[in-house]
Amino acid sequence: MPASLSSTSTKISSAATFFAIFSMVVILLTVSPCFSDPDMLQDFCVADLNAATSVNGFPCKPDANVSSSDFFFSGLMEEADTDNIFGICTSTGNVRTFPGLNTLGLSMSRIDFAPNGTIPLHTHPRSSETGFVIKGEVLVGFISTRSVFYSKVLKAGEMFMIPKGLVHFQKNVGTGKATTMTAFNSHLPGTVILSTVFVTTPTVPNGILAQNFQVDETVIASIKAKFGAL
């Protein structure tokens, strides 16, 4: 093949590759919004918590029933009672307690810790989490899907983040009480505590749990007893 024809063929091939890649980028940019959350179609949608049905959120209250109180919430102001086995209490500002958050993709929580109090290992299947320490010293940690453990002891004013769905915890490691405030990009992030595998209804068979944790069934029975489930 003459050199001129070979050069022309190479240029055509390069151009075809460029336009193929360009076309793929255009398609991705135009189609990808179809797979993300839709934009709001109204200013707000205050949740009707008494509605009989809900689909990915609560139905909206009629505008005539909406008032200023639907958009303000004071449930995170007071320190909560931490007298329990974990030494913590979570005050939630999500759609169930603050209906004005419905469909907005926002919520917050306040966590109060007794000395040595711990939020047990858990995940939020519908949300990432960010927060900061209001007072005290708190160890915050999470585990990646590659089983890498990331953690740091934070003091008042310091901030943290937890990627969506990853197992994480907080623990008061200071000498006194501690408080953190967290925010979520979901109006109802959901919480799955790992220890709930021992208190499900109906119960997970002891043999299944024993095999998963590689312990004797008597150990599983003992753990269930501590959580009040036999």
Angle value at C-alpha 125, between 119 and 131, nearest 5 degrees: 50
SS3 118: strand
Provide the annotated binding site for oxalate: 124, 129
Is omega for the bond preceding 202 within 30 degrees of 0, making it cis? yes
- Write out the binding residues for Mn(2+): 122, 124, 129, 168
CA atoms of 223 and 64, how far apart (whole Å): 52
Using only C-alpha atoms, the chain has a radius of gyration, in whole angstroms, of: 25
Mapped onto helix, strand or coil, the DSSP state of residue 173 is coil
Which parts are annotated binding residues?
Answer: 122, 124, 129, 168
CA distance 180 to 113: 8
